[in-house]
Amino acid sequence: MEEAVVSKNFIEQIIDKDLAEGKYVKIVTRFPPEPNGYLHIGHAKSILLNYGLAKEYNGQFNLRFDDTNPTKEKTEFVDSIVKDVEWLGADFRGEVFFASNYFDQMYEAAVKLIKKGKAYVCDLSADEIREYRGTLTEPGKNSPYRDRSIEENLALFEAMKNGEFPDGSKVLRAKIDMSSPNINMRDPVIYRIARMTHHNTGDKWCIYPMYDFAHPIEDAIEGVTHSICTLEFEDHRPLYDWVVSELEYENPPKQIEFAKLYLTNVITGKRYIKALVEDGTVDGWDDPRLVTIASLRRRGFTPEALKKFMELIGVSKSQASVDYAMLEYVIREDLKPKAKRMMAVLDPVKLVIDNYPEGQTEEFDIEDNPDDPEAGTRKITFSRELYIEREDFMEEPPKKYFRLFPGNEVRLKSAYFVKCTGFEKDEDGNITVIHCTYDPATRSGNNFTERKVKGTIHWVNAADAANCTVRLYENLVDEEKGKLNEDGSINFNPDSLTVIENAKLEASLKDAVPGESFQFIRNGYFCVDSKDSAPGAPVFNRIVSLKSSYKPAQ
Ligand code: ATP
Ligand code: MG
């Protein structure tokens, strides 16, 4: 077997070097979500990257909730995140870590800094702290509280913890350098007073650590070696390093940044998705038009396809948007050998075969999946009245239209040739019935070669067709017209959802179960919706059409 030579990404190169230099013995990575919303495809990238590295290096992957900011956090989000990480196959050994479980250690760490003269209690207001901080071009100036004694700081910090001061009246700050060119190093706040009930620790604490202080401690406690995050934290790295170094951790973790994943034509970003959910633009966090992991799962994406997608796009330090068509490409490739090919008519019109005996039904064998050598065949029923797609008939066809029109003959897939003899219309001029005759000699399997036809169309037997709801999706945002309107609001695609109430499907599809995926011949891949389906009444979501605008690089 040929083995693909894949060059290592920049993170693997760093890890290889660290291992070669003996910096770490076992690689430990983590995914640290804040439980303030559902995860989206960008998080999937981070999960698969972190988990993939742990696996590649025989190390360990931790799932840790970064729940240091109690106001926005909810248990619903914790549960959904655990489910998503499991679904993606990132093994966290069933062990969930919470930053809030380390609040005692964080408090001790703060005390340690105070004792080293590296942290102080500051009474400046939030506005004053901002004023004193300086700007990108001007240095900051020292807080008048900067030179409090260690004893005073210890006593004040303890009093802060004990609830002796009102919210916002004092903070604990790291004592670093008010003239540092990096604003994050200008005596950043590391603890604040805020009386908030925490979903895990309840009312035990009225002081909470700030992210930049808490995160490196969480990593160090868990023995994380490579703390992988996105580029916006690059300027925070010196502070990360300062924290782990001042706290004197052995083999401290190191932070590595990579570029966030953005996709065209969809909304990424938890805040934006949350707004769409809250204002009812979409039907919940798992609306199939979103790219939350829950939406992708509901839409019919598979973990394998998402893994493949992440491999294709790779990891880098430079920001770019990935074409949504690439995501469609991977799910098509994934489903091609897996999904059964089914007959399904989405926009039905009756086809009557006038010379076919009334009351007669016969069966045809049809291949389950020509792309899967293991797949078998199944029976489909055929009789005098069928449904075909409305677009497969034209009264007055243009040139090169090879489907049904008066006088033309086509192949009904896996059945007979039929020739159009006429049609009926209602008062409004809509075609209601198409008439044809069939030629028994052309029966599928007969190896009929006397004449050829150019068009093959799919059909469903009217007598036993399943009537189902089928939903077609388009992108939520149409970037061709510009993602934003002039007033800054999002330019939504008005056609992002089309609901077909009475599609006519091959009879066996009545029994399809939530999560099951199929190819509807010529119409795309469809998945049974997990929310709106009932036994015997599946609702189908189109995952992706069959046409591709994406060509993979060779
Ligand atoms: P958002 O930017 O959508 O609000 P977030 O970064 O606030 O997300 P967190 O829960 O804080 O969400 O993130 C958990 C992890 O996922 C972090 O390590 C973060 O860097 C990573 N992450 C978030 N968005 C993306 C993305 N688009 N691509 C890759 N990784 C991401
Ligand atoms: Mg965040």
pLDDT in tens, 34-43: 999 999 999 9
The per-residue pLDDT for 363 is 97
Q: Which of 124, 130, 118, 116 is nearest to 145 (CA)?
A: 124
Residue 6 has pLDDT above 90, yes or no: no
- Does residue 341 sit in helix, strand or coil? strand
Q: Which ligand is nearest to the CA of 65?
A: 1
Q: What is the pLDDT of residue 74?
A: 81
Most distant CA pair in the chain, distance: 102
Q: Whose CA is nearest to atom 9 of ligand 1?
A: 33
Closest atom of ligand 1 relative to the 36 alpha carbon = 10
Interval between CA 157 and ligand 2 midpoint (Å): 27
Nearest ligand, CA 46: 1
Q: What is the pLDDT of residues 274-300, one digit of tens each?
A: 999 999 999 999 999 999 999 999 999
What is the distance in A from the centroid of ligand 1 to the CA of 42? 6
Closest to 108 measured CA to CA, from 248, 233, 252, 253 = 248
Asked if 183 and 56 count as a contact pair (C-beta separation under 8 A), the reply is: no
pLDDT in tens, 108-165: 999 999 999 999 999 999 999 999 999 999 999 999 999 999 999 999 999 999 999 9
**What is the structure's pLDDT at 1?**
44
Q: How far is the CA of 232 from the centre of ligand 2 (A)?
A: 11
When pLDDT is averaged across residues 66-87 and rounded to a whole number, the result is: 90
User: What's the mean pLDDT when you consider all of the chain?
Assistant: 95
Looking at residue 70, its pLDDT comes to 83
Confidence of residue 480 (pLDDT cuts 50, 70, 90): confident
Over 60: is that where the pLDDT of 554 sits?
no
Looking at all shown ligands, the one closest to residue 271's CA atom is 1
Query: Under a CB-based contact definition with an 8 Å cutoff, are residues 435 and 474 in contact?
Result: no
* Percentage, residues of the chain above pLDDT 70: 98
33 lines ligand 1 (CB under 6 A): yes
Identify which of 43, 53, 224, 318 to mutate to test ligand 1's pocket (most ligand atoms within 8 A of the CB): 43
Predicted pLDDT at 486:
81
- If you average pLDDT over residues 310-316, what whole number do you get? 95
Contacts of 447 (CB under 8 A, 6+ apart): none
Which one-letter DSSP state was computed for residue 477?
B
- pLDDT tens, 246-276? 999 999 999 999 999 999 888 888 899 999 9
42 lines ligand 1 (CB under 6 A): yes
Q: CA torsion sign, 318 to 319 to 320 to 322? A: positive
Give the CA dihedral 195, 199, 204, 208, nearest 10 degrees: -50
Q: Quick one: pLDDT at residue 547?
A: 84
d(C-alpha 85, C-alpha 78), whole Å: 11
The CA distance from 103 to 408, in Å, is: 77
Question: What CA–CA distance (Å, rounded) separates 143 from 333?
Answer: 60
Pair of tokens at residue 94:
């069933």
Q: Name the percent of the chain lying above pLDDT 90.
A: 90
Q: pLDDT at residue 2 above 80? A: no
Residue 387 has pLDDT above 50, yes or no: yes
